[in-house]
Amino acid sequence: MKSSLSNKKTINKYMEAVNKIIKNSNKQAIKLGIFHLQNHLTRQIQARAIEQVIIGDEWEKEEEWLLTCIYKMPHEYIKSGTDIKVNISSFPCVSFVASKTRLINCFKWIGYPVNPFLQGTNHSPIYYLYPLNVIYCSNGMHSFSTGTLESNSYIRTDKIINLKNSYSSIYFDGKYFRKIDTNKKLFKAPSLEFGILYEIGRFVLKLDIHWFDF
């Protein structure tokens, strides 16, 4: 995320945007507005991951930081089966890529109508992160990333990670997650966008917004 603003000011601007979405709006409008903000942020994460591999920069395995970060937070880990199905081209989704060759091959060979994206066993596990409202793919990342660029790519989740229990004790300061009561630094966020998604999740919980039943 490129901005002349400091990270903290950037977070505040996004929180202002959420408050404007909430103000004088019905719940359906709020839900849609927050969804679009979440989608905007995940698209930035995904685009940067693809760009860094294409231009040859070394990718720092942000996907590992993401899962490590999540597992350090108080959370409920729920096996969800295959009940959540989304179009990954229009839903907030994140995956990462490491090989330019594999990514280019997926660009060449995956696409509707010749060879549409299909979920396979190599994509498991697929996580749904609540209240961030984000689908996270930890395997089959190159084909998944290509699927996000298609208009008709569907995937089902394997697992749900509910971070609800973390919000009473943790907040994001623009770079690190910290303890609310002591301000103690806990761990670095994988990206500014992820931290903003986390703080938007605070509004999601307060307003009791759900996109799926689980």
State how many domains the chain has. 1
> For the chain, which residues score pLDDT lower than 70?
1-5, 57-65, 79-82, 111-124, 139-142, 147, 151
* Residue-number span of the structural domain to which 53 is assigned: 7-94+123-138+156-206
In 3D space, the residue among 100, 116, 130 whose CA is nearest the CA of residue 201 turns out to be: 130
Q: Is residue 212 in a domain?
A: no
Q: Is residue 101 in a domain?
A: no
pTM of the model: 0.86
Q: Is residue 202 in a domain?
A: yes
The phi-psi region of residue 133 (left if phi > 0; otherwise alpha if psi is between -120 and 50; otherwise beta) is left
Q: Alpha-carbon distance 198 to 131, whole Å? A: 8
Q: What is the pLDDT of residue 121?
A: 54
Q: Is residue 104 in a domain?
A: no
Q: Alpha-carbon distance 191 to 44, whole Å? A: 10
Q: Is residue 177 in a domain?
A: yes
pLDDT tens per residue, range 104-160: 877 777 766 656 555 555 556 788 999 999 988 876 666 777 767 776 778 888 889
